[in-house]
Structure 1
């Protein structure tokens, strides 16, 4: 009994120790399982953080794409602005040069200096320039053809343009009419046998031609046409001869018979008068050639140059509209790119926030894993110590039967408890008693502990790898955020430049509006000048009509004189017959009729002289009628010419009204473009404000990424500490 009782006590104590070991084993198992679950959660959080980081990188790529679109649209906007400025300069230059030409022609002045070659015109210089706008082949061909046609038209106008002298031709014609009226008065006076002293002035210097040659009109004429002086000097010489002849005829009226006066008038006056009229015609023809050449230039201007100018303006206006539409499209693209960048930035900020939360969750999970592992390590040490204690206590009681096995078990447990944490060690006790079962249970427990530590070690290694990867990605993200911050600063600078460009375009549009208004004012002034010209030409037409009426009246009077001369001829014929009859009757009377025969002979001679004089008068009247008919024909031509001038001036007025209308339309278009550019400027200011906000958000995100990177580095250090702890176990 004494030998058995101690064995029963030992068995009870061993059972109690086994129960305690089982409880400790269960507690350790639960702790390890919780550690495994926490490690799994940490790995899941790490994977989520990696996925969120990839999404953030995609959002960053979208931001970069939006930035590239903004850069491209900015460059395109700058090119379009330069194209618009170049095109506006070309339009202004063309308008200025053609406006100078129009003003010179309206003012009857010398034409301005225009390009000598077609390639010197601003439009062709634009086409040949390296900085020309983006033009299609059809647009280049159309501009080239229009400019070449315009250059040829300007050359034709320049070739035919001559400055006319206002009123010179009319003054010369009035001189002719003055001398013609004086000549008719002299003829009437001579045949009426009255004085002619009051018809011509007493002094030669007071004659109409001499007075004309003292005028400023004559001085201007000889300055323009040197040959005009020679012609007028010849006319003056003939005029002086006429003055001297009229003076001689006036003296003859005091002493000589009227027959002699008439004969001298018939023989000397018509050749001188005709020669003088010829010289005046030559002088008038010089100015009429100038007027005809100028009218040709006017006709080419109205029929060819004005339509070509309108066509060229339409082509340039169409190009300006295309550039304006492209600028509006650039503004729309910029707004879309900014909106896309803002959306991508918001998505990026959201992903960064979620990534930060995921990193915090991973860090928390890591702390939980470390705590669980430390608890498991403490439980393992406690369990080993308890087992050693219980086995040592039981070993003293089992000295006989199980001393060797207890000693071996104690040695193995001591190796496990005080060694290098080798979890591969096992108890090699093979028996069917309590120690054998304890050895098997302990080996199974160590096998579970070994697998748990292996899993925790693997999870710790994965956690360390994930934290390293996350740290690397956070570092890349930080670099990306810094680049994004730099790009945002560049975008802010570009928006500032765009605002300055927009303000410059607004100022240029305002200047263009002022130029268009000035062009409209100039065209309005030209319209007033044309209206004044129409009034003057209308007045000239009325004067020509009155002169034509006077010439018609003069023609009627000459026909009346012709009838009177015919009556005189009939009287002279009858007188001749009566003288012949008287001579016959005197011959019949013999000596008594001799004196009557002498009278009859004298009467017959007088009748003959009358017939001769009337024949000469008829010749003079015919010459006068011929000259009168020529003057009437010239008056009719002048009338038609004035009517044509009136029509051309009226047409020029209509064209100028169209130019004024188109100029006002261009000014209105420029005003609208200025308003649009101001709207664009406001939009750019808003975009600049939003970009500044985005820059601030980017700075905040960069700081947050730096903080997350610090947390990840801290997590990486803790994971390395966990690996160091796990290396204490040999697995």
Structure 2
């Protein structure tokens, strides 16, 4: 019986009779056989459970490893997308800052243009006032010329009357004969003087007419220049108002660009923080993946040991 038990066969029944020393030895052998049978059975059950659990652990670990690899790939894609978004946001921020600087430069230029327009408006307004004043002076000159023309009319009338009186005096002197000869000479001189006065008056009238025509043209030109100056003044004032609106619009754009730049910078900081967190998550995922690989290897080793244990237990018959 001892050889049978030693060979691993625990199925043989041991019958004990008596109370002598061999009987006690057989009882001890029977107890050892039963204890060994129970132990081997427990080891077999445990090894089977261990093998099953090892297989399940290996399967779960493989699934976890695949999930971690997929998660790593998705994290890499997310990190790449966040990096691209960060670059885009930073580019938007740089463009907003550049646009803001350009807007500030445009604001300065518009303000300078507005100041130049203001000076132009002031100069045109002064020019219009000067033209208006000159037109008034020319109008006064024309009035003086008209007054001179009236005086010339009086002089011409007097010269005609003088000429007529001298003619009458010459006729009377001729009638008087020798007694009126001296008076006739004076009358001829008076007639000659009246004739020269008429000629001079005509010449002066011609010059006065030319002056009056010139003053009339000058007044018309002054009025036209004044009208054009007023029109130009209105255009310049409209241009100044338009530049004022442009300046206000550029200032508003500049403020909005500053807001966009600030918001973009904050968004870029958030994106960089997200990228750092994704990198940390990726590192933790890689560590988890490495741990899962180690667990998978350990479960495979545990499964191999369970199989070896089953092989050892299989040597016994229970």
Counterpart for residue 275 of structure 2: 688
The CA distance in 1 between the partners of 2:257 and 2:274, in whole Å, is 25
The CA distance in 2 between the partners of 1:595 and 1:724, in whole Å, is 185
Do residues 577 (structure 1) and 164 (structure 2) align?
yes
Do residues 547 (structure 1) and 147 (structure 2) align?
no
Do residues 518 (structure 1) and 115 (structure 2) align?
no
The 5 A counterparts of 1:196-275 are: none
Counterpart for residue 28 of structure 1: none
The CA distance in 2 between the partners of 1:640 and 1:725, in whole Å, is 123
Do residues 561 (structure 1) and 148 (structure 2) align?
yes
The CA distance in 1 between the partners of 2:297 and 2:124, in whole Å, is 96
Do residues 616 (structure 1) and 212 (structure 2) align?
no
Counterpart for residue 650 of structure 1: 237
Q: Secondary structure at the match of 1:692?
A: helix
The CA distance in 1 between the partners of 2:239 and 2:195, in whole Å, is 64
Counterpart for residue 507 of structure 1: 94
2:257 aligned residue (670, 682, 687):
670
The 5 A counterparts of 1:430-445 are: none
Do residues 602 (structure 1) and 186 (structure 2) align?
no
- Cα distance, 1:668 vs structure 2: 0.1
Paired residues of 2:79 and 2:275 also in contact (CA < 8 A)? yes
For structure 2, the residue ranges without an aligned partner over 5 or more in a row are: 19-32, 34-40
- Cα distance, 1:717 vs structure 2: 2.1
Report Cα offsets for 1:444-478 as digits up to 9, x if no partner.
Answer: xxxxxxxxx9xx99x95x98688557535533532
Paired residues of 2:166 and 2:188 also in contact (CA < 8 A)? yes
1:716 aligned residue (287, 300, 303):
303
The CA distance in 2 between the partners of 1:719 and 1:562, in whole Å, is 144
Counterpart for residue 587 of structure 1: 174
RMSD between superposed Cα atoms in Å: 3.3
Report Cα offsets for 1:388-407 as digits up to 9, x if no partner.
Answer: 546xx79xxxxxxxxxxxxx
Report Cα offsets for 1:260-311 as digits up to 9, x if no partner.
Answer: xxxxxxxxxxxxxxxxxxxxxxxxxxxxxxxxxxxxxxxxxxxxxxxxxxxx
Counterpart for residue 220 of structure 2: 633
- Cα distance, 1:695 vs structure 2: 2.0
The CA distance in 2 between the partners of 1:655 and 1:719, in whole Å, is 92
The CA distance in 2 between the partners of 1:696 and 1:617, in whole Å, is 113
The CA distance in 2 between the partners of 1:709 and 1:567, in whole Å, is 137
The CA distance in 2 between the partners of 1:608 and 1:493, in whole Å, is 114
The CA distance in 2 between the partners of 1:707 and 1:591, in whole Å, is 168
Paired residues of 2:107 and 2:251 also in contact (CA < 8 A)? yes
- Cα distance, 1:715 vs structure 2: 4.2
Counterpart for residue 359 of structure 1: none
- Cα distance, 1:498 vs structure 2: 4.3
**Relative to structure 2, which stretch is displaced further, 705-714 or 519-528?**
705-714
The CA distance in 2 between the partners of 1:637 and 1:470, in whole Å, is 105
The CA distance in 2 between the partners of 1:638 and 1:469, in whole Å, is 105
The CA distance in 2 between the partners of 1:502 and 1:471, in whole Å, is 45
TM normalised by structure 1 equals: 0.36
Report Cα offsets for 1:569-626 as digits up to 9, x if no partner.
Answer: 1101110121122122112212211222232223223223322322232222122111
The CA distance in 2 between the partners of 1:583 and 1:466, in whole Å, is 167
Counterpart for residue 58 of structure 2: 471
The 5 A counterparts of 1:162-173 are: none
Report Cα offsets for 1:19-54 as digits up to 9, x if no partner.
Answer: xxxxxxxxxxxxxxxxxxxxxxxxxxxxxxxxxxxx
The 5 A counterparts of 1:130-169 are: none
The 5 A counterparts of 1:64-83 are: none
Counterpart for residue 116 of structure 2: 529
